[in-house]
């Protein structure tokens, strides 16, 4: 009840009264500095004074507070910079102390340093406070998976080849501004023409598609060769630092171009069936997985497993690599909760996709008394102490879908716009932290009435 009592005292100030969520998290961060200190090592690594804005470095606490404010308000970094001057609650929450705001570059630099592992600890720290306050007890858990899409266009072999050609010439043009006398040939006009021709040719005109694809791959080969020549150029050591950075980007990009060429040739020319694990779905977000769930529409992004309890808090949020079946994620969900909170649930209820005999036996071994699968077969049934408990848990399980829906809609998690797998995961966890703060605030407010 200590957090609740301190939170009520903040309501004597009108700014906090109108912003109960920030009043709550401000109280938590003040009374439990260990919550923000989990990010200390990430923020302080390679720390140097900023050349932007105030020309100084924010504290670890200020960085974490800024990240939470950004997540709760759904701001970008430029909006976050403006909010420091425009919003008194923002200035108070970030603890500017009437000083000049930090620039958006500074916050982008330091917030992006915080790893997913540290954010996991922050999430658990906030949940542990909810447990101490009596809102959660980890006795009954429910879990389900959802898909968070990457910020990419729908991938086809044709579009991936065209993307590679465009990106190769973007890098070459950028390098030509740094290296005097650099010459290259631009094949984008013919490549764009082939791109539209392939789009307009249906599968019924397969012979024509193969012919145009051969021409496009021939053009693509020339682009790859130009990039390869620049990367292998022995004179590159004498180039400027900016030029060498561009060449490093080319070195990183070259294997992606070769992979796209190989996949396209195998599929479109040779007619092979390329396995999904060998494919690439975006040259800009190469970590993207293809997610197929039953008869639903194919999605491109990452599967996210969310585990919750009676409080509707997200107790665990795990971004999954690849497209494993829900059945294979069952044991991880229990193990992660046990590791985070040092407790094994009494009741565990999941969707039918998790159903298997091995999972049931694992639950029994762990000492879980009531295990309910939403869909069971005649040979495999849920383990419950009574039919009434099975019915109650089955109905309660559907609530995790409302949690996922609220989480994705409120924090724009249908499509994740942060780039790269580490940042993709971090964005999901920042949103989970923001969601939990909102839920915990609702529980606190309910104590007034």
Query: Helix or strand or coil: residue 182?
Result: coil
DSSP single-letter state for residue 354: G
Q: Which residues of the chain have pLDDT under 70?
A: 1-2, 4, 6-12, 14, 47-55, 203-204, 377-379, 448-449
Give pLDDT, residue 45.
82
Give pLDDT, residue 340.
93
Architecture of domain 157-278: Up-down Bundle (1.20)
Give pLDDT, residue 191.
94
Contacts of 393 (CB under 8 A, 6+ apart): 140, 347, 349, 370, 372, 384
Task: Give CA separation, 168 vs 34, 253, 286, 291, in Å.
Answer: 46, 8, 16, 29
Note whether 314 and 337 are within 8 A (CB): no
Q: Work out the burial of residue 383: count CB atoms within 10 Å of its CB; fewer than 13 is exposed, 13-18 middle, 19 or more buried.
A: middle
Give pLDDT, residue 51.
55
Global pTM? 0.91
- What residue ranges of the chain are covered by domains with CATH 1.20.120? 157-278
The yes or no reply on domain 119-127+134-152+290-422 and CATH 3.30.1490 is no
Query: Helix or strand or coil: residue 68?
Result: helix
Tracing tokens 């999605």 back to the chain, one arrives at 299
Nearest partner of 268 among 166, 191, 158, judged by Cα: 158
255-257-261 Cα angle (round to 5): 115
Give pLDDT, residue 292.
86
């Amino acid at each position: 009840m200590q957090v609740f009592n301190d939170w009520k005292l903040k309501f004597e100030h009108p700014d906090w009264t109108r912003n109960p969520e920030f009043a709550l998290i401000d109280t938590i961060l003040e009374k439990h500095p260990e919550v923000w200190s989990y990010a200390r090592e990430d923020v302080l690594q390679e720390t140097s004074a900023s050349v932007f804005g105030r020309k100084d470095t924010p504290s670890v606490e200020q960085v974490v507070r800024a990240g939470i404010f950004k997540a709760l308000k759904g701001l970008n970094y430029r909006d976050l910079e403006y909010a420091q001057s425009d919003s008194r609650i923002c200035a108070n929450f970030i603890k500017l102390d009437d000083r000049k705001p930090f620039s958006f570059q500074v916050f982008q630099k330091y917030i992006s340093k915080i790893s997913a592992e540290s954010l996991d600890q922050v999430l658990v720290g906030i949940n542990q406070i909810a447990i101490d306050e009596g809102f959660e007890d980890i006795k009954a858990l429910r879990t389900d998976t959802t898909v968070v899409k990457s910020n990419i266009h729908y991938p086809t072999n044709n579009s991936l080849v065209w993307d590679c050609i465009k990106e190769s010439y973007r890098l070459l043009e950028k390098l030509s501004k740094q290296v005097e006398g650099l010459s290259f040939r631009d094949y984008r006009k013919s490549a764009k023409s082939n791109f539209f021709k392939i789009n307009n040719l249906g599968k019924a005109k397969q012979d024509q598609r193969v012919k145009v694809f051969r021409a496009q791959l021939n053009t693509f080969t020339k682009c790859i060769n130009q990039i390869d020549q620049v990367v292998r150029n022995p004179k590159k050591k004498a180039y400027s630092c900016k030029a060498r950075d561009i060449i490093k980007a080319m070195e990183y990009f070259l294997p992606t171009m070769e992979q796209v060429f190989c996949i396209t040739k195998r599929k479109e020319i040779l007619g092979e069936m390329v396995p999904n694990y060998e494919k690439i779905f975006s040259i800009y977000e190469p970590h993207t997985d293809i997610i197929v769930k039953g008869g639903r529409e194919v999605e491109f992004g990452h599967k996210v497993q969310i585990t919750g309890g009676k409080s509707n808090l997200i107790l665990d949020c795990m971004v999954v690599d690849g497209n494993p079946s829900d059945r294979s994620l069952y044991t991880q969900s229990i193990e992660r909760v046990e590791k985070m909170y040092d407790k094994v649930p009494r009741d565990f209820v999941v969707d039918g996709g998790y159903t298997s005999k091995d999972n049931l036996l694992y639950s029994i071994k762990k000492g879980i008394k009531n295990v309910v699968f939403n869909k069971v077969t005649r040979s495999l049934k849920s383990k419950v102490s009574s039919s009434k408990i099975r019915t109650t848990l089955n109905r309660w399980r559907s609530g995790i879908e409302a949690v996922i829906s609220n989480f994705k809609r409120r924090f724009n998690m249908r499509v994740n716009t942060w780039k790269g797998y580490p940042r993709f995961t971090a964005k999901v966890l920042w949103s989970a932290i923001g969601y939990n703060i909102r839920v915990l605030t609702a529980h606190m407010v309910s104590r007034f009435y």
